[in-house]
């Protein structure tokens, strides 16, 4: 099969390209700035608002893995343009090309769209996919970590100093980026068992990880015992304002993120698990966190 990938230069997208090219698949990928270090990928220059580029991307392919999207923004209105409008543009290009198979990467935050503009935009994008008439499957990843990730990097850095500030008490599921990449590719072949279904994958740990358990595991990955205090919502909102003052549009902690960080349950639901004969996770999170810490150190990030 020939597969088109959006978001191929991002954290998850690069892992997907690694697996696809290692398996000798024909791959086309969309990028604003075309990389020079992946000659085994057919790159299409452009973005999700460029209809001509999307037409070139989906021409002659058997399936699309739509990963591209905005996860953080100083202006919440940007989520609508990127996540909802961008998904609609991909669907329209697939319709024009007659390409029917779509694997769409959403987010667990779509379960609670009232908590954040990001989650609301992913929920609306899911609605577009469900109404598209395509042969679709939606994946809602939980917390995704691994080499190249920058979202969990600050927790690793904090753990090196022996303290990891946490949101109010709760639990979440985790998944290594390589396991997620394998899942997305495993879902490309269509069948009645995956068609028009939404899945919530995880690392196989029933009940997920409490915030304190995750902080302790990250501490273990960097060789430190950590103190992990829970911070109230108001303190996190104050920290978000400070981050905006210090880093401007590059701030990682935003008021929108605080909205879903404070929700107590981001655990993948068992009734939305992927059939085990289609995919199962292979990387235990304790081991994955340690290998991620080693990668960060090798890159000089820690």
Over the stretch 84-123, which tens digit does the pLDDT of each residue have? 999 999 999 999 999 999 999 999 999 999 999 999 999 9
Range in 30-39, 135-144, 244-253 with the lowest mean pLDDT: 244-253
What are φ and ψ of residue 152, in 5° steps?
-90, -5
Characterise 261 by phi-psi region: left (phi > 0), alpha (psi -120 to 50), beta (else): alpha
Residue pLDDT, tens place only, 11-58: 999 999 999 999 999 999 999 999 988 999 999 999 999 999 999 999
pLDDT of residue 245: 80
Spatial distance between the Cα atoms of 115 and 123, rounded to a whole number of angstroms: 11
Distance, CA of 260 to CA of 244 (rounded, Å):
18
| pLDDT single digits (tens) 189-246 | 999 999 999 999 999 999 999 999 999 999 999 999 999 999 998 998 898 888 778 7
Q: Is the full-model pTM beyond 0.85?
A: yes
pLDDT in tens, 262-276: 999 999 999 999 999
Cα separation of 75 and 4, whole Å?
29
> What three-state secondary structure class fits 5?
strand
Q: Domains, the chain, ranges and CATH?
A: 2-142+175-202+269-282 (3.40.50.720)
């Amino acid at each position: 099969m020939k597969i088109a990938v959006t978001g191929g230069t991002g954290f998850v997208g690069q892992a997907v390209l690694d697996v696809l090219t290692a398996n000798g698949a024909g791959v086309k990928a969309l990028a604003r700035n075309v990389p020079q270090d992946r000659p085994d990928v057919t790159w299409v220059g452009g973005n999700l608002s460029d209809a001509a580029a999307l037409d070139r991307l989906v021409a002659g392919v058997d399936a699309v893995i739509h990963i591209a999207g905005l996860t953080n923004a100083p202006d919440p209105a940007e989520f609508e343009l990127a996540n909802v409008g961008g998904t609609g543009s991909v669907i329209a290009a697939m319709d024009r090309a007659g390409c029917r198979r779509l694997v769409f990467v959403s987010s667990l935050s779509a379960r609670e769209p009232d908590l954040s503009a990001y989650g609301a935009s992913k929920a609306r994008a899911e609605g577009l996919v469900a109404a598209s008439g395509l042969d679709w499957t939606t994946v809602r990843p939980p917390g995704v970590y691994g080499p190249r990730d920058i979202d969990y990097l600050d927790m690793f850095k904090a753990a090196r100093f022996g303290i990891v500030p946490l949101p109010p008490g709760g639990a979440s599921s985790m998944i290594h980026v390589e396991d997620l990449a394998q899942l997305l590719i495993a879902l490309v072949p269509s069948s009645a068992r995956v068609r028009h279904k939404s899945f919530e994958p995880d690392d196989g740990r029933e009940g997920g990880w409490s915030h304190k358990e995750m902080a302790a595991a990250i501490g273990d990955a960097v060789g430190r015992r950590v103190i992990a205090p829970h911070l109230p919502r108001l303190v996190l909102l104050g920290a978000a304002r400070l981050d905006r003052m210090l880093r401007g549009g590059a701030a990682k902690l935003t008021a929108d993120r605080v909205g879903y960080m404070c929700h107590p349950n981001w655990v993948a639901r068992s009734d939305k698990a992927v059939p085990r004969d289609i995919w199962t996770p292979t990387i235990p999170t304790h081991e994955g966190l340690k290998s991620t810490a080693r990668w960060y150190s090798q890159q000089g990030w820690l």
